[in-house]
Amino acid sequence: MSLRTAAHEVTVTQRQRTLKVPATEAARAAAAAAGYAKLRRGAISIVIVGDRKMRELNRRFAGYAGTTDVLAFDLSSGGARDAVIGEVIVNSGLAAAEAAKRRGRALDELLLYIVHGVLHLGGYRDKTDAQKKKMRAAERAVLSALGRRAQDR
């Protein structure tokens, strides 16, 4: 499924059966995060996978054993920093587990992962406390604009 806005082409691919994820909501979340991060144009692929696949990808691309919530790949080739070509892979299994722990909604958790990954494509980081604070504020702003609430993490 693809969503084209004035500035962004967002494609959503589901490779999991854990959650029923409306592709339009996933695409809207990605486009909103891209806009917030001031990515004025570009193409973003969102891939929703299960936990087993995410463990494999995390080991292969990040070098970590175990799972993670999101992997973001900036595939842009130089050019203007306001444009992006990227892929964001999110973990539906972890979203379901984390939502259950916090008594939240799994879809909201998954949309948070999408927003988080796209913000990474836009240059947001979360290694230091200051970066985490800025990232969390951006996540809350984007999700709020979508009528969603970010769970504390």
Name the pairing type of β-strands 8-15 and 41-49.
parallel
* Domains observed in the chain: 2-145 (3.40.390.30)
Picking from 77, 147, 78, 87, the residue whose alpha carbon sits closest to that of residue 120 is: 87
Kindly tell me if the per-residue pLDDT of 16 is higher than 90: yes
Average of per-residue pLDDT across 128-143: 97
Chain mean pLDDT for the chain: 92
| Percentage with pLDDT > 70 across the chain | 94
Whole-prediction pTM value? 0.93
Cα separation, 15 vs 122, whole angstroms: 25
Cα separation, 106 vs 97, whole angstroms: 8
Per-residue model confidence (pLDDT) at position 80: 56
Question: Tens digits of per-residue pLDDT, 117-133?
Answer: 999 999 999 999 999 99
3-state secondary structure 54-120: HHHHHHHHHCCCCCCCEEEEECCCCCCCCEEEEEEEEEHHHHHHHHHHHCCCHHHHHHHHHHHHHHH
Residue type, 140: R
Per-residue model confidence (pLDDT) at position 140: 96
- Buried residues in 107-145 as b, exposed as e (16+ CB within 10 A): bbbbbbbbbbbbbbbbebebeeeeeeeebeebbbebbee
